[in-house]
Amino acid sequence: MTQESKVLAALSDSDISAKNGSFLSQRTIRRPARVEGIGLHTGRSVRVEFKPAPADSGITFVRSDLAGSEPIVASVATILDANRRPRRTSIGNGRVEVHTIEHLMASCFGSGIDNLLVEVNGEEIPGLDGSAHPFIEIFRQAGIQEQMIPRRPVQIREPVWIEEDSAAVAILPDEAFRISYTLSYPVASLSAQFFSATVTPEFFEAQVAPSRTFCLAQEVEALRKIGLGKGATYENTVVVEPNGRIVGNHLRYPDEFVRHKVLDLIGDLYLLGRPILGHVMAIRSGHALNLKLLQRLRQNLERGREGGIKAQYVELEATSMDIFAIERILPHRYPFLLVDRIVEMVPDRRAVGLKNVTINEPFFRGHFPKRPVMPGVLIIEALAQVSGILLLNKPENLGKYAYFVAMDNVRFRRTVLPGDALILESEVLKLRSKTGQMRTRALVDGKVVTEADLMFALLEGDGKL
């Protein structure tokens, strides 16, 4: 086990061993396997051999074409600057580098592989068909070996986020691994795609892994001039013209573009070295921003910042709360604190919150920038925060967290625009000591824009029920 892995394990061991389709123990492949192909960017032929690896060793790369080269453990510590190596994820140890590892890393997530030796006789992992699916098939044929050493998921217990220009990515507390991604490009068929799901290995294999890398037709020449995309073809890369037409191919999913962005994000996150239990929310993020989020998450883990801000009990002088009272109850902070005021509170029964939506909201810079619309997933998050305030503001819940665990009967009726005053209603359906079920509505000018039934688990500060 690397020193970094030991630090992370000590700081964030979770008693959550298997849920939502994850695996109880660490895994590797049963038999060696190999594949040959062309690098998407170098255009060079390369051979990769996959070999079983011992527990707690991680995903390790070795350059077999360079005699005596030191292994590179795929981790946050070995990530190379994505701005200097654009359009891919690269790792290195100061002497040797391996590029375009994101599809392979995502396939390790999808196969539940924690430990693997990857011997590659070149600087880039082959692109194959441009997706993660071929790697999953290779691992299936090699067989999977349970290693009887427990996995240690990283349980996200406080929000972590980063944003640059019109892009942002964050991880919020959640009991499952969930991803919500908003894609927006200046092309008709890419103007707005949204994907949100709880991502288990089984879901990943069926719904995400086959999605292929893509680029805009107007980018091709510029990429070639800087030495990228030399191995790209219409078979392994979906090329999109300005009118939305796919050049020389067809889509595997109507929203294949956003699914591939999710694939890349999963591959990047797997560089943490352990599965994540949390809700990842991304707006137009790419490799550079994904990897910066990982760096920040690693810093938080090393500082032991798992507990977040524990809820306090606020004695109500009236039936309302200002932002300062809200911040004493919820762990959320800008830009993910989405409630400005509680205007009505009936303990154990009902709460009504207010969110003033302005053009200065950070999500408007990337979400339909020419026609700003508040993302539906953030309206749900705002309703969840009002529900959390209602659940947590009780003396017996002092120091607990309200984790959003499920939703049902979700409907988006109207768009929410800059200048709207969003009224957020939450009513208790069922309330027990450790769980709560709420019926929620969001309204603008008296008209319902969103409604959903939300379920929560109340956890102690150490993450236990």
Residues recognised as catalytic: 287, 367
Residues 6+ apart with CB under 8 A from 351: 342, 344, 345, 386, 387, 389, 390, 425, 426
CA dihedral 441, 446, 449, 452 (to 10 degrees): 10
Inter-residue contact 425 to 442 (CB < 8 Å):
yes
DSSP state of 204: I
Instruction: Say how many C-beta atoms besides its own lie within 10 A of residue 3's C-beta.
Output: 8
Give the CB-side neighbour count of residue 85, counting CA atoms within 13 A.
20
For the chain, the farthest-separated pair of C-alpha atoms sits apart, in whole angstroms, at: 73
Strands 72-73 and 59-63: antiparallel
Dihedral angle computed from the Cα positions of residues 202, 208, 210 and 216, in that order, rounded to the nearest 10 degrees? -170
What is the number of alpha carbons within 13 Å of residue 374 lying toward its C-beta? 30
Q: What is the rounded CA–CA span in Å between residue 192 and residue 173?
A: 26
Q: Report whether the peptide linkage leading into residue 375 is cis, meaning its omega lies within 30 degrees of zero.
A: no
Pair 163, 336: CB distance under 8 Å:
no
Q: Which of 323, 326, 299, 295 lies closest to 312 in space, CA to CA?
A: 326
Sign of the CA dihedral running 339, 340, 346, 350? negative
Which residues, other chains included, contact 199 with Cβ-Cβ below 8 Å and sequence gap of 6+?
A: 177, 178, 179, 208, 262, 266
Q: How many CB atoms lie within 10 A of CB 199?
A: 24
**How many whole angstroms from its chain centre is CA 288?**
14
**Which residue reads 């292929």 in tokens?**
212
